[in-house]
Structure 1
Amino acid sequence: MTTTTQPSAPGFTGVSTSLRGLTRHFGDKIAVQPLDLDLEPGSIVGLIGPNGSGKSTLMRMVVGLLRPSGGSATVAGVRLHGDGTAVRARCTFAPGELGFYGELRCEAHLKWLLKGRERSSVARGIELLERLGLPRRGRVRSFSHGMKRQLLFAAALAPDVPLRILDEPTEGLDPSKRGEVMDLLREDASPGRTTLLSSHHLGEVDHSCDRLLFLSAGRLIADESAVDLAARARRLVRVEWPDEPPADLESAARSNGAVAVMAHGSRTTIELDSDDPRPILGLVAQRTDWPRPAKVEYGQLSLRELYRDLYGVEGL
């Protein structure tokens, strides 16, 4: 089988997406708090947060499927207004949930999903079905949940557009298939294209995304490059105490190069201002008036542990 690569989409160069004060509430419940965000072309952006954090609501607003309660947006160079038809012509969207026509065969369903797109999109979509191992003649009703997710993914990657929005594209897939999907996303990267994908599995996207956005209870709590986040994770010291941490631990740690100290029961996570842990490790070892730590870890924490410890975000 011959594999083709998506063109670099030179006509899309410089097309960005900007959100200003975008918010959504359902009755008294605020699903997405007012959000300012710029998504630049040429990047893969991960939208991370536990279930119920507002990821899907935000994505549906961006593609015009859900009317914002306030704020404004320019999506892929087009102002978001009305029913969002103009925006959806400039982007693809793989929703977290979608009804399927079970009687259709896989290839026919792909063509239905790509209705109105250019012919080259269908050819590219069929190639993606083959890459993913989906039977082109198989009835969709016989597909597992994961296979249906891959069908949506193939349809979202087929058109040559400046913006792709993928809501939990690897949900329901086994580890090997998740890896294939992320590999295809990296292959699809283009200087003129932005990809926004959501996940509640931080470990799955931290090596694939250029930038990570973290949502918690509808609020953007962090926006950092993947490189900077990895560096932060390397600057964490975690101390497990036999009981409560020492009362003067935070002040002592800050005097020895700590920029943040977070306590969670008997566990303390200390973020350093450099890659040198010796001042903190020496402090913990030399303070004879402190209890002896049960465990000390440095440079081994994952990004998931970083956000759990520093921001108290569970479920990633």
Structure 2
Amino acid sequence: MVGRRAQSELEGRAARCVGARAARAARRARLRLARLAARLVRRRRSRAAGRGAARGGLPARADVRRRGGAEVLRRSGGTAAAGSRLPPARKRLRGSRAPVLSGHARGGDAALSAPAVELAGLSRDYGARTALAPLSLAIGAGELVGLLGPNGSGKSTLLRMLVGLVRPTAGAARVAGVALRGDGLAVRRVASFAPGEIALYGELSARAHLDWLLRGRAREAYARAHSLAERLGLPLGARVRSFSHGMKRQLLLAAALAPDVPVRLLDEPTEGLDPTKRGEVLALLREDRAAGRTLVLSSHHLGEVDAVCTRLLFLSAGKLVADEDARALERRASALLRLRFPAGVGAERVAGELARAGLAPSRTWQVAGEDGQVWASCRLEAGDPRAAFARLATAELPAPTAVQHGRLSLAELYHE
């Protein structure tokens, strides 16, 4: 009886040992699977970080934790800023080289006399479509340059190439004396960038998001960004998800204007802002230029930038169609007179009567009908509209309902 009981107990212990070993083996298998899954997640985040760079340098993941009552951003993933680590997908790009400009030394005193931005045949193709035709130009230190053109003209493509977010198909570039190579990390140490697209993390506060955008910059940049955001009326403690489109635009601008770098590249900095905020932003740009920095900004609204820019570059279908300073544009605008006549007059009658009155007979009047109204546009010889008004009085036409002088629309500028 005792022998059977002992045998039964031994068999039970053996079964429990086998079960324990099986449980341990199952736990080890689950642990291996968990490690494999974590490795896959990290790999996906690294790839997402590379894609996030092309969308404007946003993090692959960002968490917020509390420490001593203050918000501290725990960073992981993301686009490389000055001093930050690159994910594997971007490390491979850093070692590759773009064509190099000759003639200027990198850094040192030689770079001080070099242009702030220099392009030599820089271009970008997407398959058979040319986003930017080969472009060669130089922008001097301290200039405030406006890139103007309709949507799809190549403005954003050019700015993204200058900071390494888009690889050029051909050509070379220097920014603040630094050659554009690989992923553009060296350029981003001497230039700041405000992307045109808005893709922010809504769960972060404005203060935390500014700190993340400025990672790797000097500590003074953080305080300046907070000051600029407060000047623009942004609540730093509020979550970004509560911000309007214009407020998010201003948050990106505050981050771009904060670092102490010689060059700033701003893609549509006034897009989505009301007139009052546009004025405040343009005032900030004037102040930044007065401090000796070079600014290049894009827009498709001529009236917003011609008042602050010292030079205007006009792009159309990826090609540079005009390069003018602000004074030359003002002279062109002063030579243009536009008249609007009421509906029912007829475009042919307006053209004939104005020609008979002798208004700029050596020039061709452009007459277009719109909603029954007729617009007539004429180039003045001396830029003084008073003689034209005297001749207009002799024409057998009703009084114009609108008269414009000294202003050029973007479409008129391209046409002229």
Q: TM-score range by the shorter chain?
A: 0.7 to 0.9
Per-residue deviation at 1:262?
Answer: 6.0
1:7-46 matches, within 5 Å, as 13-14=112-113, 15-46=115-146
| Letter paired with 1:242 | G
| Letter paired with 2:408 | L
Question: Where does structure 2 lack aligned partners over 5 or more consecutive residues?
Answer: 1-108, 370-374
Note closer, same or farther for the CA distance 1:311–1:91 as it changes in structure 2 (3 Å cut): same
What corresponds to 1:79 in structure 2?
A: 179
Per-residue deviation at 1:155?
Answer: 0.4
1:123-272 matches, within 5 Å, as 123-190=223-290, 192-238=292-338, 242-244=346-348, 245-246=351-352, 256=362, 258=363, 261=364, 263-265=366-368, 267-272=375-380
Q: What SS is found at the alignment partner of 1:270?
A: strand
Per-residue deviation at 1:72?
Answer: 1.5
Contact 2:198 2:249 (8 Å CA) reproduced: no
1:309 aligns with 2:409: no
CA distance in 2, matches of 1:219, 1:262: 27
1:120 aligns with 2:225: no
- Residue identity (%): 54
Higher RCO (CA 8 Å, separation ≥ 6 residues): 1
Per-residue deviation at 1:196?
Answer: 0.7
Normalising by structure 2, we get a TM-score of 0.63
Q: Larger Rg: 1 or 2? A: 2
CA distance in 2, matches of 1:100, 1:169: 16
Question: Where does structure 1 lack aligned partners over 5 or more consecutive residues?
Answer: 1-10
Per-residue deviation at 1:239?
Answer: 5.2
Normalising by structure 1, we get a TM-score of 0.82
Which of 384, 390, 405 aligns to 1:300? It is 405
Note closer, same or farther for the CA distance 1:310–1:112 as it changes in structure 2 (3 Å cut): closer
What corresponds to 2:165 in structure 1?
A: 65
Per-residue deviation at 1:280?
Answer: 5.7
- Give the CA RMSD over aligned residues: 2.9
What corresponds to 2:193 in structure 1?
A: 93
Per-residue deviation at 1:243?
Answer: 2.1
Q: After alignment, is 262-271 or 25-34 more displaced?
A: 262-271
- The C-alpha deviation readout for 1:231-268, integer Å capped at 9, x for no partner, is 2111113356832335996xx87765x5xx46353644
What corresponds to 1:49 in structure 2?
A: 149
Per-residue deviation at 1:118?
Answer: 0.7
More helix by share: 2
CA distance in 1, matches of 2:257, 2:194: 9
CA distance in 2, matches of 1:280, 1:129: 49
Note closer, same or farther for the CA distance 1:189–1:282 as it changes in structure 2 (3 Å cut): same
Note closer, same or farther for the CA distance 1:47–1:293 as it changes in structure 2 (3 Å cut): farther
Equivalenced residue count is 294
| Letter paired with 2:124 | R
Note closer, same or farther for the CA distance 1:298–1:37 as it changes in structure 2 (3 Å cut): farther
Note closer, same or farther for the CA distance 1:202–1:32 as it changes in structure 2 (3 Å cut): same
CA distance in 2, matches of 1:152, 1:273: 45
